[in-house]
């Protein structure tokens, strides 16, 4: 058996491309914004995590340019060696103060942040209790930790308590949950998680990748949204969304940060974020602090779009949600791919969510919104989305006939 046999047998992509339904790797030819140019054509961007619209903000860009001029393009080493800049330290201090924790450390990517935290803080003698819809980086971090991982049903607090009841007091327990779940846009039931953590002597790691800059006073995230900042032990976030850069961070008590800094292999053996990454994230944080109305603008435009889709007859799972992630359930994989293809051709960029990211037969189109989106753009996008989905049959055999392949 040849190692590469599996590569030769992997034909999913070839089939999708042959059908003209392959939805990935469309190339941007302009800045990430509410309208972009992709492959020579204008697209309304509702498939981005640029929640506060700061990725193309000239102040953020200028901060990155100045950092490039001062420090160069990279650091050429880990934070332990030659990779720590005063701008890294300043960013960490600012984040810790803004979120209200003692200390902060940064990682090179958001995915690496969860790998680095979980692989360091949890060991073979511990148990990680994980919401079933948590991000893939949490699952991979749990595997890397060698701790036992137990899952509970999504946002199901009765099931969480059942899991906690089955773990003895001789084990260290860590409940890990997304603050805002990246596919559904649900907010975790943090008040109940905090109550159960206290009852069963567990710690909490909150993944605020999609919540920082989005909910809570000043965009401080899920713990601030529920007024539970002092009850959450560790909060992680990313720079690639609201903070308009690349990287990730953890805030916690100083002794926890010091431990992870000196035990986390993904942190110890990775180069630090670039000078431009650090400077852009720091400037974005300063803008969020100075312009809290951006967070409200984001929630307002998300509510407007949700109401618009409903008014046009499109079923939305949670019409009362306040987050900027609006999933549109499309059913089969084929129907989802066809919908995304037609939407793209009509100038709307969205994200298809297919197995294994969704259960078979429960595929969806993930749409997400930005504080700088306008009502006019939302009206245009909503109309096209509803027209396209209404034109595609529910049944795959009928879709194949529509495509001329039945």
Please report, for the domain that includes residue 18, its CATH number: 3.90.1150.10
Q: Is the pLDDT of residue 191 over 90?
A: yes
Same domain as 389, residue 329: yes
Same domain as 312, residue 395: yes
Same domain as 343, residue 201: no
Same domain as 283, residue 179: yes
Same domain as 330, residue 257: no
Q: Are strands 325-331 and 363-368 parallel, antiparallel or unpaired?
A: antiparallel
Same domain as 116, residue 103: yes
Q: pLDDT band for 239, please (50, 70, 90 cuts).
A: very high
Q: Which residues are catalytic?
A: 182, 210, 241
Average pLDDT of the chain to the nearest whole number: 96
Same domain as 284, residue 296: no
Q: How high is the pLDDT of residue 405?
A: 67
Domain boundary, last residue among 255, 290, 325: 290
Q: Is the pLDDT of residue 206 over 70?
A: yes
Q: How high is the pLDDT of residue 392?
A: 95
Same domain as 238, residue 105: yes
Query: How many Cβ atoms from other residues are within 10 Å of residue 198's Cβ?
Result: 11
Domain CATH for 203: 3.40.640.10
Same domain as 305, residue 274: no
Same domain as 273, residue 193: yes
Q: Which domain holds residue 92?
A: 58-290
Q: Is the pLDDT of residue 157 over 90?
A: yes
Q: pLDDT band for 406, please (50, 70, 90 cuts).
A: low
Q: pLDDT band for 229, please (50, 70, 90 cuts).
A: very high
The number of domains in the chain is 2
Q: Is the pLDDT of residue 318 over 80?
A: no
Over residues 69-120, the pLDDT tens digits come to 999 999 999 999 999 999 999 999 999 999 999 999 999 999 999 999 999 9
Residue of 328, 312, 331, 310 lying closest to 320 (CA atoms): 310
Strand extents, DSSP E, 239-285? 248-252
Domain boundary, last residue among 250, 273, 290: 290
Same domain as 321, residue 206: no
Same domain as 122, residue 13: no
Instruction: Return the bridge partners of 175, or none.
Output: 129, 204
Over residues 131-149, the pLDDT tens digits come to 999 999 999 999 999 999 9
Q: Is the pLDDT of residue 226 over 80?
A: yes
> What SS3 class is residue 112?
helix
Q: Is the pLDDT of residue 358 over 90?
A: no
- Judge if pTM exceeds 0.75: yes
Domain boundary, last residue among 222, 257, 290: 290
């Amino acid at each position: 058996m040849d190692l590469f046999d599996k590569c030769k047998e992997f034909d999913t992509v070839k089939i999708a491309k042959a059908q003209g339904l392959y939805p990935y790797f469309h190339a941007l030819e302009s800045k990430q914004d509410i309208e972009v140019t992709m492959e020579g054509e204008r697209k309304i961007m509702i498939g981005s995590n640029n929640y506060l619209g700061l990725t193309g903000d000239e102040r953020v860009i200028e901060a990155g340019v100045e950092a490039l001029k001062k420090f160069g393009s990279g650091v050429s080493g880990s934070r332990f060696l030659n990779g720590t800049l005063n701008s890294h330290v300043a960013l960490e201090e600012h984040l810790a103060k803004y979120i209200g924790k003692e200390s902060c450390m940064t990682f090179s990517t958001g995915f690496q942040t969860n790998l680095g935290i979980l692989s360091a803080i949890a060991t073979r003698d511990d148990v990680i209790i994980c919401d079933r819809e948590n991000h893939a980086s949490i699952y991979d971090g749990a595997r890397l930790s060698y701790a036992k991982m137990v899952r509970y049903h999504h946002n199901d607090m009765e099931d969480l308590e059942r899991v906690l009841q089955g773990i003895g007091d001789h084990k260290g327990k860590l409940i890990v949950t997304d603050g805002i779940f990246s596919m559904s846009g649900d907010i975790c039931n943090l008040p109940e998680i905090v109550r159960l953590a206290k009852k069963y002597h567990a710690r909490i790691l909150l993944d605020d990748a999609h919540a920082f800059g989005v909910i809570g006073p000043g965009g401080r995230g899920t713990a601030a949204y529920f007024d539970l900042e002092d009850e959450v032990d560790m909060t992680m976030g990313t720079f690639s969304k609201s903070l308009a850069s690349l990287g990730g961070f953890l805030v916690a008590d100083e002794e926890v940060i010091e431990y992870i800094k000196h035990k986390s292999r993904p942190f110890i053996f990775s180069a630090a974020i670039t000078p431009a990454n650090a400077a852009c994230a720091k400037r974005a944080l300063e803008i969020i602090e100075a312009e809290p109305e951006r967070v409200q603008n984001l929630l307002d435009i998300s509510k407007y779009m949700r109401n618009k889709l409903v008014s046009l007859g499109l079923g939305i799972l949670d019409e009362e949600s306040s987050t900027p992630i609006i999933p549109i359930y499309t059913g089969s994989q084929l129907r989802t791919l066809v919908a995304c293809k037609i939407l793209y051709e009509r100038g709307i960029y969205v994200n298809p969510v297919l197995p294994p990211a969704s259960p078979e037969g429960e595929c969806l189109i993930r749409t997400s919104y930005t504080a700088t989106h306008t009502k006019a753009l939302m009206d245009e996008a909503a109309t096209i989305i509803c027209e396209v989905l209404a034109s595609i049959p529910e049944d795959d055999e009928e879709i194949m006939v529509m495509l001329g392949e039945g």
